[in-house]
Structure 1
Amino acid sequence: MKILVLHGPNLNLLGKREPGLYGTGSLEEINASLQELACELGVEIGFMQSNHEGVLVDKLHTASAEYDAVVFNPGAFTHYSYALRDAVAAIALPVVEVHITNIHAREEFRCLSVIAPVAAGQITGFGALGYQLALRAAVGLVTGQ
């Protein structure tokens, strides 16, 4: 089993960008902790980050050739990218949406996720731990456990 962890815009700035909201850990640290958990769970994991909507759409389109599920933090695209929403809906893989902050407790425009209705589930507000919860959920969705 192989899981794709897909990071959207500005997540490459984790640790530097608004640490009061997003924490002081870097994207590399999140990925390293996920790699460690993947080894414990006996699954392979791949990572990609892009600030470009079309690159994320393309990766979702081709994900099923290599992966069994996707953990996806669409970043700001969460709130308005119908292209990403449609890409998630179009693929035959479970997608677990994840957010570091609780998007439902933030500014009004951040409360809406256009991805959530087509994702298998959403994990939000648990900081970097949310990624680990999302990886466990993705593995569970694939294995049926």
Structure 2
Amino acid sequence: MKILVLHGPNLNLFGRREPHIYGTTTLAQINGHLEALAKSLAVELTIFQSNHEGALIDQLHAHIDTAQGALLNPAGLTQHGVPLHDAIKAMPFPVLEIHMSNIAAREAWRAHSIISPAVKATIQGLGWRSYTAGLRALVETLRDAPPVG
């Protein structure tokens, strides 16, 4: 099983950026937690981070026929990423929206995600564990799904 993990704009600054909100865990450490969990679940990850919406969309397109699911932290694209929303809707596999903080409990403008209507589910507010909770949920969901065809 192949899972795509996409990290959006500024997430390369985890561990340095607003540690009172996002904690001190770095993106490399998050990816390490994901890789260790993926190994125990016997799944393969492709992990990608970009500060550019088009690059994230390109990754979805590139994996349209090879991935069985995706985790996406859209970061600052959560409220404004219409092309990303549209790309997610075109995917034949489930995408889970991941946020380290609870966006509903922050500034009012952060509470509305235009990404959420395009994804299967949203996991938020658990810090870096939002990613691992998402990976577990996605893999369990995919394994419980009836065979296609």
TM-score bucket (shorter structure): over 0.9
Identity %: 46
Pairing 1:98–2:101 present: no
SS across alignment from 1:141: helix
Amino acid at match of 1:19: P
Residue of structure 2 equivalent to 1:87: 87
What is the TM-score when the length of structure 1 is the normalising length? Answer: 0.97
Higher helix proportion (structure 1 or 2): 1
Q: Secondary structure at the match of 2:32?
A: helix
Corresponding residue of 2:107: 107
Q: CA deviation at 1:138?
A: 1.3
Alignment of 1:34-113 (within 5 A): 34-113=34-113
Q: Provide, for residues 35-83 of structure 1, a one-character-per-residue CA deviation record: whole Å limited to 9, x for no partner.
A: 0000111111110000001111111122223311000000010111110
- The two structures have a TM-score, normalised by structure 2, of 0.94
- Which position in structure 2 is the counterpart of 1:4? 4
Aligned to 1:119: 119
**Structure 1 equivalent of residue 135 of structure 2:** 135
Superposition deviation, residue 87 in structure 1:
0.4
Q: Which moved more, 1:95-104 or 1:62-71?
A: 62-71
Alignment-mate amino acid for residue 53 of structure 2: E
Q: CA deviation at 1:137?
A: 1.4
Checking the alignment, whether the CA contact within 8 Å between 1:94 and 1:141 is kept in structure 2 is no
Secondary structure of 1:79's partner? coil
Q: Partners of 1:140 and 1:95 in 2: how far apart?
A: 13
Contact 1:97 1:121 in 2 (8 A): yes
Give the RMSD, CA atoms, in angstroms: 0.9
Q: Equivalences for 1:18-37 in 2 at 5 Å?
A: 18-37=18-37
Tell whether the 8 Å contact from 1:7 to 1:50 is kept in structure 2 after alignment.
yes
